[in-house]
Amino acid sequence: AVNRTPEIQAARLKLPVCGEEQTIMEAIRNNTVVIICGETGSGKTTQVPQFLYEAGWSHPDSDNPGLIGVTQPRRVATVSMAKRVAQELNLTDKEVSHQIRYDATVSAKTRIKFMTDGVLLREMSQDLLLTKYSTIIIDEAHERNLNTDILIGVVSRVLKLRAELSREDREKIKPLRVVIMSATLRVSDFTENKTLFPVVPPVINVNARQYPVAIHFNKKTPLDHVGEAYKKITKIHERLPNGGILVFLTGQNEINQLCKQLRKRYPALPPKATKKQVKKEEQAVELESKQVNEPAGKADIEDEALELGDNQVEEDFDLESDDDDDDIAEGFEDEELEDVKDAPLHVLPLYSMLPTEAQLRVFEPPPEGTRLCVIATNVAETSVTIPGVRYVVDCGKSKERKYDIETGVQSFEIDWTSQASAGQRAGRAGRTGPGHCYRLFSSAVFDNEFEKFSTPEIHRMPIEGVVLSMKSMNIDNVVNFPFPTPPPRESLFKAEKLLGYLGAVNTTTKRITGFGQTMSLFPITPRFAKMLIIGQQHGCLPFVIAIVSALSVGDPFIQDYHLDENQPEDSDDEDVGRRELHNINSESVAEKERRKLVRKKYYSSQMKHAGLDPSSDILKLLNVVGAYEYAGATASFCEDNFLRPKAMEEIRKLRRQLTNLVSSNFPDVDVCLDPKMKPPNAVQLKVLRQVLTAGFIDSVAIRQDVLETGGGKGVRYKNSRNVVYKLLWSDEEAFIHPSSVLYSQEPPAMLVYSELYKGGKTWLKGVTAVESK
């Protein structure tokens, strides 16, 4: 029934996973959950769906007529793997289909369906039992994305349901099978979790042949990893024997930049091969065979030590480089290839936004006489295997979705990957023979700054965001949800309660409300999302967007000029001077005078921004965000106003992003980013204070004397110094922080705060007075 071409047949036979076909199919027949672990490139993604297909699964007349579903965390692999499997089976994309958010080839004839895990989760909110499917293969489980984790949890419940229902009526409902596939990393989170899988699922290890890879650390860690990668590639290409080069960078722009540089230096069109070149190639082959015979060495960090005392021959590089003397550390020492500068290099980019056709080019053999060089993001780490790679150049970094645990803001940041990821990357060089991995960072950085494993996404996200996403997928019981690595129950419970306060979740049914659905569209913490949605009256939205952006990024004011927070009582300038003198005894009088002036300027700038509405620190923030934009978002504005330029820039970016999100999600709301935004009028200020109160409804503090008089007037105070507040839900004592605009005024009876600061006493920061009716 399966009609593969001889080439495909031959290529399949070489894949380690094909040696385990019997074991795998037997395990799937006898168990509801099976875990398959294997090195990247061993054939899991392309072959396991075919095993099922060939055994008759998904055939309408078989015992298991449902679709074979395969989930992927990344779109790039979803599309390219579906294509590859269709090609291997000699079928069309109607039969082996893919579905990603904005694109699908699914048809009535579909037998195997590749999709992102997000797509399957959305499907499940309509069809929880996954009745369309006979098998769900969850791929790349080691990546531990939030969606993958949630999917594994939900599916573990569906398995039980499907089993029960099929016992009642085997004709109508068949049991479901689940296959979890992972690179060789931490499977114990899945196997040793009894809540998730009460019966320990069998783990099939696919032993792939992995040749040794010599690891070469840089002596120093350069800031410009793109430039460093360029240098390293030229050295490899010009001095080392045949073999593909795979380079890991962090993103599209870097990749395109490097591709351009490399193509310029090594033009794609090979100049006519001269005799000299042919000879060089012969030499290269010779050298290569020599190289294979010598042990390529383990991950020898000693390479770094080797370099000491050894003098090496400086070779002729086009690029000046100040640290070329670590050649030995890089494993270039015994190469005596002549200069082959003009040999062509077949440079290909690989990142997720690249069109599929372009992505698939990395699998084709490079043109005769050229060397393949793929510049990729971490898609090439485990999701996509490029044949013939012998050298890996790893910048050690990746662009990752980051969350601010406090504010829930998502951003994409470039940071070190984990040691486990670096290991995966290095492993790419040892698929076809011994290889080399060049790390563009030092072993000290690797040892001290890389985490062992990357933390599962669920533990990097603010919990109320996780809970809201799950509710938006109609998963109501989050507290008892079988997560592979569950967050603390207490924090799940608290998050659910907060969502109740905010109106995102119905407090009795625990189900998401329409309002909550809207909130879940924003990449910010639910409380800020709420402010955005309710802040649409009286033309307040642009202000609310600015406020939410500022709150999300965090206080942009430089704090150095504040008083010692532990001793707010002595709040005069002299005290600050005294504190500083602890450190700088020899400070000159003139210097002190200068500082005094600076502090004066600081306070007057603070007063200026507070002037808008002296009853809220947050409105002071709004004022400063508006003024910054009005002044052209310049660095000098930041300097004059004691602002952190980076924070202001981030606020600005988030403002733009939120404005776009609001426009695209609420077509009838007309909002744009006005660089000359006028300050809010009196009515708007009132609305804004209400919006702030609603957003911080769980963070209320009441003056103790007012509480004691049962809501009466209480004592009259001139300012907030030593005035005791009680936190509404915990009854804890707290005080308005001296940095607040409210500090020097009559303290309000009730306020909401955006931040609690514990230092000696509990301080209330980011305060807004709640208006008495």
List residues binding Mg ion (CB under 5 A): 44-45
Query: Six-digit token pair at 536?
Result: 């649409």
Q: Taking the complex as a whole, how short is the minimal distance between the CB of residue 364 and ligand ADP, in angstroms?
A: 7
Number of shown-chain residues binding ligand ADP (CB under 6 A): 16
Q: Is 135 in the site for ligand ADP (CB under 6 A)?
A: no
Which is closer to ligand ADP, CB of 41 or CB of 748?
41
Q: Taking the complex as a whole, how short is the minimal distance between the CB of residue 238 and ligand ADP, in angstroms?
A: 27
Q: Taking the complex as a whole, how short is the minimal distance between the CB of residue 183 and ligand ADP, in angstroms?
A: 7
Q: Is 486 in the site for ligand ADP (CB under 6 A)?
A: no
Q: Taking CB under 6 A as the criterion, which residues in 604-633 touch ligand ADP?
A: none
Q: Taking CB under 6 A as the criterion, which residues in 178-237 touch ligand ADP?
A: none
Which is closer to ligand ADP, CB of 46 or CB of 615?
46
Query: Six-digit token pair at 379?
Result: 């898609």
Lateral strand order in the sheet of 67-72: 103-104, 96-100, 112-116, 67-72, 133-138, 177-182, 33-38, 203-206
Calpha distance 773→771 (Å, rounded):
6
C-alpha dist (Å) from residue 511 to 152, 533, 623, 663? 21, 19, 38, 27
Calpha distance 397→248 (Å, rounded):
8
Q: Taking CB under 6 A as the criterion, which residues in 369-408 touch ligand ADP?
A: 385, 387
Whether 725 and 735 have beta carbons less than 8 Å apart is answered as yes
Which is closer to ligand ADP, CB of 46 or CB of 417?
46
Q: Taking the complex as a whole, how short is the minimal distance between the CB of residue 417 and ligand ADP, in angstroms?
A: 18
Which is closer to Mg ion, CB of 382 or CB of 720?
382
Q: Quick one: which of 161, 200, 360, 479 contacts ligand ADP (CB under 6 A)?
A: 360
Calpha distance 571→459 (Å, rounded):
41
Q: Measured on CA atoms in the order 244, 248, 251, 253, is the torsion positive or negative?
A: negative
| Residue 241 interface partner, choices Mg ion, ligand ADP, none, CB cut-off 5-8 Å depending on type | none
Q: Is 15 in the site for ligand ADP (CB under 6 A)?
A: yes
Cβ-proximal residue to Mg ion, closest one: 45
Q: Taking the complex as a whole, how short is the minimal distance between the CB of residue 283 and ligand ADP, in angstroms?
A: 29
Q: Which amino acid is it at 376?
A: A
Which is closer to ligand ADP, CB of 15 or CB of 67?
15
Strand-pair category, 67-72 with 112-116: parallel
Q: Taking the complex as a whole, how short is the minimal distance between the CB of residue 658 and ligand ADP, in angstroms?
A: 38
Which is closer to ligand ADP, CB of 421 or CB of 659?
421
Q: Is 250 in the site for ligand ADP (CB under 6 A)?
A: no
Question: How many CB atoms within 10 Å of residue 108?
Answer: 5
| Residue 193 interface partner, choices Mg ion, ligand ADP, none, CB cut-off 5-8 Å depending on type | none
Q: Taking the complex as a whole, how short is the minimal distance between the CB of residue 465 and Mg ion, in angstroms?
A: 29
Whether 94 and 107 have beta carbons less than 8 Å apart is answered as yes
| Residue 363 interface partner, choices Mg ion, ligand ADP, none, CB cut-off 5-8 Å depending on type | ligand ADP
Q: Which amino acid is it at 498?
A: L
Which is closer to ligand ADP, CB of 47 or CB of 454?
47
Stretch that binds ligand ADP, among 34-42, 215-223, 634-642, 673-681 (CB under 6 A): 34-42
C-alpha dist (Å) from residue 710 to 132, 699, 714? 62, 20, 9
Q: Measured on CA atoms in the order 222, 226, 228, 229, is the torsion positive or negative?
A: positive
Calpha distance 752→688 (Å, rounded):
13
Query: Six-digit token pair at 122?
Result: 């959305």
Which is closer to ligand ADP, CB of 121 or CB of 181?
181
Listed residue (557, 537, 555, 538) closest to 547, CA to CA? 555
In the shown chain, the binding pattern of residues 37 to 76 toward ligand ADP, with x for contact by CB under 6 A and - for none, equals -x-xxxxxxxx-----------------------------
Calpha distance 77→351 (Å, rounded):
10
Residues interacting with ligand ADP, by CB under 6 A?
15, 38, 40-47, 80, 84, 360, 363, 385, 387
